[in-house]
Structure 1
């Protein structure tokens, strides 16, 4: 593409980086405020109270109770929901490791006795 337009790739790249820096600086306060508000929502206990209150309704809709915080925050902030999703991933990663270990143990024991 750069051959046809006769654009120097490195100069185009550095120009893009230079124009992206002011944009990143301009959105930084919004990102920080959303992450702080999400943590305050969590630390205040309000998220747990709302999750417990609304989890029966979400269960009727087929949404696991572990995802109620994500459902509550997502309409207000995509970045805040991303922070909650990260917490869910961290929590579930521990369970996935246990699940994979249990599966491996089950398969090895089955292999030992049935082969």
Structure 2
């Protein structure tokens, strides 16, 4: 995978992992700015080997900091609202003319 792609994925996953650990959005914004500052500080590394080592270190840190119970969007599998309104079973019928089933008026 291209170095730039790996860096972008690391940044994105770092922000998502940070959100899992933050109890408040304002707290997450501050941490997100600190993460961005770290990435910007290392943006102009001249040595490819040093950049690769730094990237591997960042990926290892991210793996170590994974939240045991991450936030899952409600509409994704495992989210709080996933399959909240599952389809009706086939044996349940909806009667649209309730009260007039037997020809009564």
TM-score norm. by structure 1 comes to 0.30
Greater per-residue helix proportion: 1
TM-score norm. by structure 2 comes to 0.32
Structure with the larger RCO, 1 or 2 (CA within 8 Å, 6+ apart)? 2
